[in-house]
Amino acid sequence: MPRLDRDGVHIYYETHGSGPAVLLTHGFSATTAAWQPQVDALSQRYRFISWDLRGHGQSDSPADPAAYSEALSVADMLALLDAEGVEQAVLGGHSLGGYLSLAFHCAHPERVKGLMLLGTGPGFRKDPPREAWNQRARSFADTFEQKGLDALGRSPEVRAGSHRSAQGLAHAARGILTQHDARIMNALGSIDVPALVMIGDRDKPFLAATDYMAAKIPHAKKVILSDAGHAANIEQATAFNTEFGAFLDQLGTD
């Protein structure tokens, strides 16, 4: 599979299928492998580009903490589309990947045809909840530095792939997972492309955020998948793929 050279940082990515392009971004401590159920089911109709964030999976884990940030991640996404000759794509993101997809739309709305946001949120308007989130992210980083890859969770999206660097995950937690303002939340009302906002009914930490995004994004459809947790695309892959496939098909005919 190809690698993208980003000023000496090699980003691992995969391409599968043919048709309209879909850029898939995984969540924190997951990898591109988390999207395999969607690639298997839908790549006959669509061209999927999935990738490993910096510090994750088979992408590089630079030693410099400054090499990890939301802005650099968005720039990596843009570079991936450019490298694959894609002018406009549907962005699909899970958890952190959903937040980054929203950030990408803020920076490059002309490159986005639609958004699929799974088990994610748009950030925080007030400082105290944002700081609580950031403290949790920093705690993740500390744990990876203390325990190494043994600190990885056992959720389905994490177990789907593998990692090479606990330090890379720690840097990603501090540099990419942390948030700094309400810019993404404030921009929801300006999103003018169709959005599919999905969540598992047992993914309680993100239920309120899902409701909020569905209400604020003008052309959003909300789908709650039954008997599913945070990794609804894996836990209820058939139901997820039905909704995602119908969304992509509709965009293809617009």
What residues does each domain of the chain span? Answer: 3-253
What residues have CB less than 8 Å from 96, skipping those under 6 apart? Answer: 25, 26, 27, 28, 53, 120, 176, 177
**Tell me, what's the pLDDT at 1?**
67
Predicted pLDDT of residue 254: 47
- Mean pLDDT over 2-15 rounds to 94
Cβ-count burial 100-111 (b if 16+ within 10 Å, e if not): bbbbbbbebeeb
- Give the position of tokens 């955020």: 209
User: What span, in angstroms and rounded, lies between the C-alpha atoms of 19 and 139?
Assistant: 41
- pLDDT surpassing 90 at residue 2: no
pLDDT one-digit tens code per residue, 201-248: 999 999 999 999 999 999 999 999 999 999 999 999 999 999 999 999
> What local confidence, expressed as pLDDT, does residue 26 receive?
98
Mean pLDDT across the chain: 96
CATH of the domain spanning 3-253:
3.40.50.1820
Per-residue pLDDT, averaged over 185-214, amounts to 97
User: pLDDT tens-digit profile of 51-92?
Assistant: 999 999 999 999 999 999 999 999 999 999 999 999 999 999
